Chain A
Amino acid sequence: MAVPSQDPKFEPGETVRIRNAYPIGHCRTPFYIRGLSGKVERICGHFPNPEELAYGRDSQPALPLYRVRICMTEIWSDYSGPSQDTVEVEVFEHWLEHVGHPNP
Chain B
Amino acid sequence: MIERDLTEFRGVHDLGGLLNEPFAPDEHEYEPWEKRVHAMRELLASKGLLRVDELRRAVEGMGEEKYKRLSYYEQWVWAMSQVMLERGLFTDAEFGACIEQVQQRTLAERLGTQAERLGTQTQGSD
CA of A75 to CA of B18, assembled, Å: 11
Interface presence of B14 (CB below 8 A): yes
CA of A25 to CA of B53, assembled, Å: 11
CA of A22 to CA of B86, assembled, Å: 25
CA of A24 to CA of B11, assembled, Å: 9
A15 to chain B, nearest CB (A): 21
Residues of B within 8 Å of A27, CB to CB, are 11
Interface presence of B30 (CB below 8 A): no
Residues of A within 8 Å of B83, CB to CB, are 56
Main secondary structure of the interface of B (DSSP, over half): helix
B78 to chain A, nearest CB (A): 16
Interface presence of B36 (CB below 8 A): no
Interface presence of B17 (CB below 8 A): yes
A5 to chain B, nearest CB (A): 18
Residue of B nearest to A53 (CB): B53
B16, B56, B57: the one contacting A31 at CB < 8 Å is B16
Interface bits A33-53 vs B (CB < 8 Å: 1, else 0): 100000000000000001001
Answer whether A56 and B51 are a contact pair too, CB < 8 Å, given A25-B57, A27-B11. yes
**What are 30 A-B contacts defined by CB distance under 8 Å?**
A22-B6, A25-B57, A26-B53, A26-B56, A26-B57, A26-B60, A27-B11, A30-B14, A30-B16, A30-B17, A31-B9, A31-B11, A31-B17, A32-B14, A32-B16, A32-B18, A33-B17, A50-B53, A50-B56, A53-B51, A54-B53, A54-B54, A54-B56, A54-B57, A55-B54, A56-B54, A56-B83, A56-B86, A56-B87, A75-B17
Residues of chain A at the chain B interface (Cβ within 8 Å): 22, 24-27, 30-33, 50, 53-56, 75
Chain A to chain B: the 8 pairs with minimum beta-carbon distance, closest first: A32-B17, A54-B57, A22-B9, A26-B57, A53-B53, A54-B53, A30-B16, A31-B10
